[in-house]
Amino acid sequence: METTVVDVPERGRFEVRVGERVVGLASYHVENGTMALPHTEVDPSMGGRGLGKVLVSGVLDAARERGLTVLPYCSFVRHYIEQHPETLDLVADEDKPHFGLATADH
């Protein structure tokens, strides 16, 4: 079955789906060019399949396409960004210290 990441703006979240089944979500709020990411979750019965990574990757790709910076309040999103330095530029330099993320000049 196909795994997809779908934006559901009326619910303020992205969903990761396997086939038609929603198996995870990432809540978000966009204001003034910034996407706040407070929470992600994946169905525990679907754990260990990398669905959380697929979800966060899709969310960060969408933020980049929309020209948004992100506020990774969710620890899973922060960890993903730390593991994928090519996404670090999505966090504004002035916000990086708040999230314990290294700035480019350190």
- Residue-wise pLDDT for 36-92, tens only, equals 999 999 999 998 999 999 999 999 999 999 999 999 999 999 999 999 999 999 999
Which structural domains are found in the chain, ordered by start? Answer: 3-99 (3.40.630.30)
The set of residues, in sequence order, having a beta carbon less than 8 Å from that of 58 and lying 6+ positions away, is 5, 14, 16
Which residues, other chains included, contact 102 with Cβ-Cβ below 8 Å and sequence gap of 6+? 88, 96
Task: Give 77's contacts (C-beta < 8 A, 6+ positions apart).
Answer: 26, 37, 40, 56, 59, 60, 70
pLDDT computed for residue 102 by the predictor: 76
* Contact status, residue 24 vs residue 16, Cβ threshold 8 Å: yes
* Global model pTM greater than 0.85: yes
Q: Which residues of 67-94 are buried (b: 16+ CB within 10 A; e: fewer)?
A: ebbbbbebebbbebbeeeeebeebbeee
* Cα–Cα dist 101/80, whole Å: 11
